Structure 1
Amino acid sequence: MDRLVKAEAKEVEVMFLKGQKCSSSFKLTNLMHTMSVAVSLTTTNPSLFSINKHFSTIPPLSSASYTLHLSHTSGQPHLPDPPDAITVRATMLPTGKATVDHLRRLFSKPGPHVFRDAVLTISLVGPHVAEYLISRKPQSHNLFTKAISACTRSQLTELLKPAVENGSADAVAYLLDAGADATATAESLMPPAIRSGSLDVVKLLEASGCEIVESVLHEAAATDRIDVMEFLLERCDEKLEVDSVDSEGRTPIHVAAREGYVRVIEFCVSMGGNPNRVDCKGRTPLHYAAWKGHVKAVECLLECSDVKCVKDREGRTAFCVAAESEESDARRRLVDLLGLGDALMRAARVDDVQGVKRCLGEGASVNGRDQNGWTPLHWAAFKGRIKSVKVLLEHGAEVDTVDDAGYTPLHCAAEAGHLQLALFLITHGASQSHLKSFPYLAAHPLHFFDSFQNQVSLPSKSNTLMYH
């Protein structure tokens, strides 16, 4: 016979509860038909684990129960590798009875009479163990699945939050498979999942029916996660809008501008987001980018928005906010950047060609607008500044851009009586189709409109060249 006793299980699971007494019972059975056996039980960590009966006797074909006690539970669970264990040794006891001292002497003398019948692994299980494992990286998958096997469904659901916050996709998957309910939490787990930075966790929660709240796009924007935004907009297009607002009236573009995430701003705009939108305080995304000193974000917003002159509830433009920014290193660049448009407008108005070129070279938008929607080309045309008009067109100015009232630069030139400049704009593609829709031009006291129409209907080659 190779062993005298048999253990009911190869493992003893102890429910670990912080600050509480923890214990677990296990059973051994005597395999001998006619003879009692003596049993000795020892642990690999006697300072932490103790057994109620270190020495005992078991009658023939009988079983005995033992209790393993965990001595210290105030701190973190003790999870060594290899794990703690109970060693079971047995020897035949012909007399059937013996004192504890006699049994101690019997097992103190090694020899063929003593059988090492079993080694029982000690496993700490339960929600406190699982939560501790969630906080560890890398995690032991075997220990984790064992720990949650002793949890109730409500405990599994409670463990979802720390698993999500830790960004552990494996732990979330195991918990969901074991019965955790992602829809039963007091608050949606999706925002902390996004903050954790794990797209896999976001996907697991979405597939499990987790509530998708409106703030999820704001969370993704705040963490520079375009991949999360793409996934959520694709999967929840009926629930989410790229221009959704939070309690302060801010869109994801506001959030991205505040954090300086240019890629997110560009993505939101590409998905139909409005970079001109103001929040409850009248602030545009440009205000936030300027306030935080994010030069690249300001440059991006100047390209895709038209809000440089918009004032917030305190009467401040983005330029004013930039001047007050605490980010001293970026302040000068922002002030220059946000002021370049105004400088360009002034240079175009007074025909300062070198000033126009300097502003454009420093990054001013050639198609930037003022509070009335006028571009530098509108101003140069209205003032009859043909040299500035030429420079602006060479740098990509849109010849038919319209202001807030529907006027193009050609309208401005015509209304101001600048016939030669109007001809120049037409030779560079300006459309004449809407001139008659402006009664003021037709009713000009010098009958400008009629003479203008007669002279520009068939411009001669010489007239075209003289303006180059």
Structure 2
Amino acid sequence: MDRLVKADVKEVELVFKRGQRNTTTFRLTNLMHTMSVAVSLTTKNPSFFSFNKPFSIIPPLSSSSYTLLLSPPSDQPPLTNPPDAITVKTIMLPLGTAHHDDLSRLFSKPGPHLFKDATLPISFVGPHVIEHLVSSHTQIAEIDLFLNKAISGCPVNQLTGLLKSAVVSGKAKLVGTLIDHGGDVNDKDSKGRSLISLAVQAGHLEVLNVLISSGCEIDNSVDHVLHHAAAINRVDLMEVLFRACKNVDLNSVDFCDRTPIHIAASYGYTDVIRFCLSVGGNPEVLDVNRCTPLHLAAQEGHLDAAECLLEASSFVKYALNKQGKTAFALAVENGHSNLYDLLQLGDALNRAARIDNVNGIKSCLAEGGNVNGKDQNGWTPLHRAAFKGRIESVKALLNHGAKANLVDDNGYTPLHCAVEAGHVQVALLLIAHGAKANERSLKGVVPLKSDCFKNPPPLVQPLCCEKERA
């Protein structure tokens, strides 16, 4: 005979409830027609599990119920891999009766009298088990092992609630399994936001991909997903959203009328700003306070972000917010001197150099202007003063550290500009301060020779004049 008793289940499921007394019941049936059978129940972890009847006697062809108890109450299920199991051992009892101590001795002795009738795995089921899997650091392979069992004790509405927690936790495999078992991928939170919003805010790219492939949809009126991605400097999330969600809009605004570029500018996230600009983002949108993204970057002192925004728009430098302040005014107000030259002093310094306002030059430099700062064409204040022949301005700039051999975007040095315009004294002054007469430009400017100062020749590409006129 292979066995003496038969269990009514192949696996014992225990609905785990955090901090409560957890029990489950199963039945064993005596298969013997004329003889009683003694039963012993054990587990690998007796510190976790106990039975109402560890030893019992079942009459012929009768059944008996047994209760498995998880004790003491716990905040988390004792998950093990492989799972714990109930071992059912039996012994035939010709007399049909025996004392507890006698049964204990009988089952402690190995031999042919002892039958191992069944091994019943113990599975923990219910939402509290899934919550534990969501919050724990359990390995992915083990999550699959436990999750498939735990889900069997959960109705669909509970799976949907657990899905939100899984999204925030970043467990993409768990998210996919919950969706496969009926979790509603388009359920909303209390603020009406989609699961995609939750995934993006938490920065989980893999979860985002699972949600998109499962048909999760967003509502632009509440799901400011690009704003969330911008706030955590995640271009990768923005790329996925822009590619997969057809209704995302890089110029959409949040409740403060701010675009994703506003958000990135306020944090100084230059990579996000560049991505937004590359796919159609508008750097000139005004928020509820009539602030451009440049206002926000200037207010926080983000130099690289400000430079990036100025490359995209020349207008924003002069835009006024609701208080009538430019980005430069906000930088000054907040003491961000590293932005002064970029936002205003560079313009003032170039203007002073052009009109030979030496006091203006000194004032700009004293306030933090960059003596070697370049405009949109690569001209420094020294280029401009040299081309105009403003010798006093040239002296002031050189005395304050202006570099005589810097080239503009077309390869012109200040010396080239002076020679082209016929300003011999300025040219000689530049040479005296180290300007190289044989310096070549990026565009192949003719080397300067000493006789050039008698009849200054035009340069190969007289762009200096064009720039000045512009």
State the partner residue of 1:4.
Answer: 4
Count of residue pairs brought into register by the alignment: 387
State the partner residue of 2:289.
Answer: 281
Residues 5-404 of structure 1 mapped to structure 2, 5 A cutoff:
5-137=5-137, 138-139=139-140, 140=142, 141-186=144-189, 187=192, 188-214=194-220, 215-237=224-246, 239-306=247-314, 307-325=316-334, 331-351=336-356, 362-366=372-376, 385=388, 395-396=408-409
CA distance in 2, matches of 1:56, 1:70: 20
Q: Deviations over 1:141-199 (max 9, x none)?
A: 21122212221101110011111001111011000111111223343111111122222
Contact 1:258–1:289 at 8 Å: present in 2 too? Answer: yes
Q: CA 1:20–1:309 in 2, change beyond 3 Å: closer, same or farther? A: same
Output the amino acid matched with 1:248.
C
- C-alpha deviation, 1:351, in angstroms: 4.9
Q: Deviations over 1:357-407 (max 9, x none)?
A: x97875544269xxxxxx999xx89xx94789xx9xx7349xxxxxxxxxx
Q: Deviations over 1:120-150 (max 9, x none)?
A: 2222221111111112233422112221222
* Aligned-pair identity (%): 52
Output the amino acid matched with 1:32.
M
CA distance in 1, matches of 2:389, 2:376: 16
CA distance in 1, matches of 2:134, 2:257: 36
- C-alpha deviation, 1:117, in angstroms: 2.6
Q: Deviations over 1:66-99 (max 9, x none)?
A: 1112223342222234433322211111122334
CA distance in 2, matches of 1:167, 1:339: 46
- C-alpha deviation, 1:275, in angstroms: 0.6
Q: Secondary structure of the equivalent of 1:3?
A: coil
Contact 1:130–1:147 at 8 Å: present in 2 too? Answer: yes
TM-score (norm 2): 0.73
Contact 2:266–2:293 at 8 Å: present in 1 too? Answer: yes
Output the amino acid matched with 2:317.
K
Q: Secondary structure of the equivalent of 2:317?
A: coil
Output the amino acid matched with 1:203.
N
Runs of at least 5 residues in structure 1 that lack an aligned partner in the other structure: 369-374, 398-419, 422-461
CA distance in 1, matches of 2:373, 2:13: 69
CA distance in 2, matches of 1:240, 1:100: 72
Output the amino acid matched with 1:232.
L
Worse overlay, 311-320 or 142-151: 311-320
Q: CA 1:213–1:225 in 2, change beyond 3 Å: closer, same or farther? A: farther
Q: Secondary structure of the equivalent of 1:234?
A: helix
CA distance in 1, matches of 2:371, 2:128: 63
Contact 1:16–1:73 at 8 Å: present in 2 too? Answer: no
CA distance in 1, matches of 2:353, 2:285: 29
Runs of at least 5 residues in structure 2 that lack an aligned partner in the other structure: 392-403, 411-419, 422-454, 465-470
CA distance in 2, matches of 1:267, 1:305: 15
Contact 1:360–1:366 at 8 Å: present in 2 too? Answer: no
Q: CA 1:367–1:281 in 2, change beyond 3 Å: closer, same or farther? A: farther
CA distance in 2, matches of 1:166, 1:29: 45
Q: CA 1:91–1:362 in 2, change beyond 3 Å: closer, same or farther? A: farther
CA distance in 1, matches of 2:241, 2:389: 51
CA distance in 2, matches of 1:304, 1:33: 92
Output the amino acid matched with 1:247.
F
Q: Secondary structure of the equivalent of 1:179?
A: coil
Contact 1:303–1:365 at 8 Å: present in 2 too? Answer: no
- C-alpha deviation, 1:313, in angstroms: 1.9
CA distance in 1, matches of 2:458, 2:48: 99
Contact 2:231–2:267 at 8 Å: present in 1 too? Answer: yes
TM-score (norm 1): 0.73
Q: CA 1:311–1:72 in 2, change beyond 3 Å: closer, same or farther? A: farther
State the partner residue of 2:467.
Answer: none
Q: CA 1:60–1:285 in 2, change beyond 3 Å: closer, same or farther? A: same
Contact 1:16–1:128 at 8 Å: present in 2 too? Answer: yes
CA distance in 2, matches of 1:266, 1:387: 39
Q: Deviations over 1:262-286 (max 9, x none)?
A: 1111111111111111100121111
Q: Deviations over 1:93-117 (max 9, x none)?
A: 1122334343233324443322233
State the partner residue of 1:432.
Answer: none
Q: Deviations over 1:273-303 (max 9, x none)?
A: 1111110012111122222332221221121
CA distance in 2, matches of 1:135, 1:395: 58
Contact 1:286–1:298 at 8 Å: present in 2 too? Answer: yes
CA distance in 2, matches of 1:81, 1:323: 63
State the partner residue of 1:448.
Answer: none
CA distance in 2, matches of 1:14, 1:362: 76
Q: State the Cα RMSD in Å.
A: 3.5
Q: CA 1:273–1:344 in 2, change beyond 3 Å: closer, same or farther? A: farther
Moved >6 Å (runs of 4+): 358-361
